[in-house]
Amino acid sequence: MNTNIQIEPLRNWKIFRNKPLIIAGPCSAESEDQLMITARELAATGKVDVFRAGIWKPRTRPNSFEGVGSEGLKWLKQVKLETGLPTATEVATEKHVYEALKFGVDVLWIGARTTVNPFAMQEIADALQGVDVMVFVKNPINPELELWIGAVERLCKAGITRIGAIHRGFSSYEKTAFRNQPKWQIAIDLRQRFPGLSILCDPSHMGGDRAFLQDISQEAMDLDYDGLMIESHFDPDHALSDKKQQVTPDQLSILLDQLILRTVDSPDSQFMSTMDELRSQIDIYDDLLLDILERRMQVAQTIGQFKKAHNITILQSNRWQEIVNKAVRKGGTKGLSVEFISTILKAIHQESIAHQLKVMNENTMMEIGLPIEK
Ligand code: PEP
Ligand code: MN
């Protein structure tokens, strides 16, 4: 946990009305008409809190549409004036920050290709020193929690307190159904490291196709995300960037209506007491698991002593492969996935080896005068 970091809860930000916070708008600002039509239609749904549009577009390959640049900031200002919606755009350099702030953009976000770069992040943090603005940090393109954390920390150190994260998934070399892999656990770990940091999900860049938006958005709600950033264009099929994943404002409105919203607690006392009872069962099983692991490690240590006495190696690859295969087969009959069983057994095996290494090296360490960790 980072104790010296101050983060203002999303419910205190002026853009917040209800959970989930909805940020919507086109991938890119393309023309004044495109922006105004889309913004009017989104505002008319009454379901959007912030209007987004990319002004400077970080494209993977050259010769793609790279955004209209500062010209588009005038249109964003017009959107705010006409619809009353606060606006958001992506910034990747010091110049972007100054320009966006000059035109009164309310919310800035840092794109995945920028979070990944500590130099760029520091340049942005320096430009934001002491500025009263709301900032969201998208996850880096690669599945690296520390880079995401580092980007948040740099902004916090610059005095930004209204800061949140956007989970848009992680790229991989292999072609997969989704454009970017969710790897939900990384966002859950981020929340664990910064309790109080709000997290939105960006199902548009995660799925890469409008067909996936509903399911991904629902999953984010089920995981208690604070909001969604979704790309919406009045004419998605003719969008200049990310056309497959954009939806019309009407489609967005239907998607939001269909979301099932859940709360963390319930005012229903019957429900809460049943939950308490079920949770105490979970606590009992967790304690049992720990007891069993302790006993298993004790046996592993005895084996370690025995191997030492007979000069036998700690690692016994064949035996280990047998254990894994057997457990995976048995786990399958108990509804446990191959991935889960393999991960858990690998961790147990590593711990066993660590215990056995300690046993094997105890005397050697004493002989050479090193302290023995007990
Ligand atoms: C975007 O929001 O349009 C964008 C470029 O997103 P990301 O940084 O997630 O790729
Ligand atoms: Mn996009």
How many angstroms separate the CA atoms of 317 and 210, rounded?
Answer: 46
Q: Is residue 366 pLDDT above 60, yes or no?
A: no
Work out the average pLDDT over 65-72.
95
Residues 306-361: pLDDT tens digits? 888 898 888 888 888 898 899 999 999 999 999 999 999 999 999 998 988 888 88
Task: Please tell me the predicted confidence (pLDDT) of residue 25.
Answer: 98
Section 166-189 average pLDDT: 95
- Provide CB contacts within 8 A for 24, sequence distance 6+: 42, 48, 50, 51, 52, 229, 230, 231, 232, 249, 252
Domain ranges of the chain: 10-258, 269-367
Mean pLDDT of 232-238: 98
Q: Return the CATH number of the domain spanning residue range 10-258.
A: 3.20.20.70
Lowest mean pLDDT among 216-230, 324-338, 355-369: 355-369
pTM comes to: 0.83
168 C-beta closer than 6 A to ligand 1: yes
In this structure, the number of other CB atoms found within 10 A of the CB of residue 362 comes to 15
Q: Is the CB of 138 under 6 A from ligand 1?
A: yes
Which residue among 90, 206, 232, 246 is best mutated to probe the pocket of ligand 1, counting the most ligand atoms within 8 A of its Cβ? 90
What's the rounded Cα separation, in Å, for the pair 104 and 96?
Answer: 12
Atom of ligand 1 nearest to the CA of 109: 2
Does residue 369 surpass a pLDDT of 80?
no
Helix axes 317-333, 338-367, angle to 10 degrees: 150
What residue owns the CA closest to ligand 1's atom 2?
27
Q: What is the pLDDT of residue 364?
A: 57
Nearest to 48 by CA among 80, 94, 2: 80
Q: From atom 4 of ligand 1, which residue's Cα is the shortest distance away?
A: 111
* Residue found under tokens 């494209």: 59
Furthest-apart CA atoms within the chain: distance in Å: 83
Exposure letters 299-320 (e unless 16+ CB within 10 A, then b): ebeebbeebbeeeeebeeeeee
**Atom number of ligand 1 nearest to Cα 168:** 9
Local structure of 109: helix, strand or coil: strand
Fold assignment, 269-367: Chorismate Mutase Domain, subunit A (1.20.59)
Ligand 1 atom nearest to CA at 114: 8
